[in-house]
Amino acid sequence: MTTFRAPSRRGFTLIELLVVIAIILILAALLFPAVGVALRQSRRAFCLQQTKQIAALIYDHAQNNNLFLPDAAGPWGLPDAMADTVRNPNVYRCPGDRFAFEQHGSSYIYPTTTAHGIQEVSGRKLTFFSYPSKKVILYEPAVTQTSSPVSGEYRWHTTGMRASVMGFLDGHSSFVELGTNVYTSVHAVNHDYY
């Protein structure tokens, strides 16, 4: 009579475990940058949606006020000027913003004076502007230069150059990468935005 011996259970060797762990770490290292890029793009998409929503609210406000745009007290004053229209102040928060919302109540600047080549909109009538698809009514501080009152630490959609999410008078929004001399003039016929 022959006896059957149960096969002995042999575990993984230390070398095999280290190889598996090394492979997992290499795959994780390859995936982390892709996850970071996807996260930045999702923040940017959310921010684009926010500016589009705020642009629509600004337009509605003008429709209810004899075509006059909100008259804000300063570049960060849009939330106060729109208090009767906007019930949720978080609409002014960009998910990539770590500083401006807490300090000013908004992640976006509303042009109350002509600055950086962007003509003021505060208190103006809708019919004042000839090119609504080029008229910037809302933008992130990344548009501004370092010498401006808005310091460079506010830039949160960086791509290696100055870039900003912008809302326009006609209601659309766009992510714009800016060269060095985009805002040399406010004349919309010769320039992309004003």
The encoded tokens of residue 72 equal 């804000």
Residue keyed to tokens 């004349």? 187
3-state secondary structure of 40: helix
Mind listing the pLDDT tens digit for each residue in 64-84?
899 999 998 888 888 888 888
Sequence-distant (6+) residues with CB within 8 A of 132 are: 126, 168, 169, 170
Amino acid at 2: T
Task: Calculate the CA 87 to chain-centre distance.
Answer: 21
Mind listing the pLDDT tens digit for each residue in 93-106?
888 787 788 888 88
Mind listing the pLDDT tens digit for each residue in 56-67?
999 888 888 999
Q: Cite the beta strand spans of the chain per DSSP E.
A: 136-139, 163-168, 173-177
DSSP 121: -
| pLDDT at site 162 | 64
Mean pLDDT of 168-193: 62
| pLDDT at site 159 | 54
